[in-house]
Amino acid sequence: MQVRGIRGAITVEVNEEQPILQATVELLNSIVKVNGIVPTDIASVFVTVTGDLDATFPARAIRAMGGWELVPLMCALEVPVKGSLEKCIRLMVLVNTDKTQEQVEHVYLGGAKALRPDLAKA
């Protein structure tokens, strides 16, 4: 078994608590579903947001999900590169898995599909 990183990102329209929390749950649920993982498979989740999202901690949404209470979470700010995608939440889910790197499915939703069009599903 190996530790693999699963990337994901999603954008929100406004810097408000509920849209940020809802988008975080949507993104994490999508990552979990397409990769067939459960919280006990998770080593940790690293969450970043762009500097324009300061209404809440996205990790609050994950912590409130059933079964995720013991998963280590960390939030941070993205590097503020001029011209980069705004209002974006990114996840790096570190998972214990037998999947190969090629079998891992990364998830990009909403405006975040522009970050990795090669990995984003239509």
Q: What is the pTM of this model?
A: 0.94
Annotated catalytic residues are 7, 63, 75, 78, 90, 108, 116
Sheet hosting strand 107-108, strand order edge to edge: 73-77, 42-49, 88-97, 2-11, 107-108
Distance CA 92, CA 76 (A): 12
Q: What is the pLDDT of residues 4-19, one digit of tens each?
A: 999 999 999 999 999 9
All residues at 6 or more sequence positions from 38 whose CB lies less than 8 Å from its CB, including other chains: 32, 67
pLDDT in tens, 96-116: 999 999 999 999 999 999 898
- The neighbouring-strand residues paired with 16 are none
How far apart are alpha carbons 83 and 9 in whole angstroms?
17
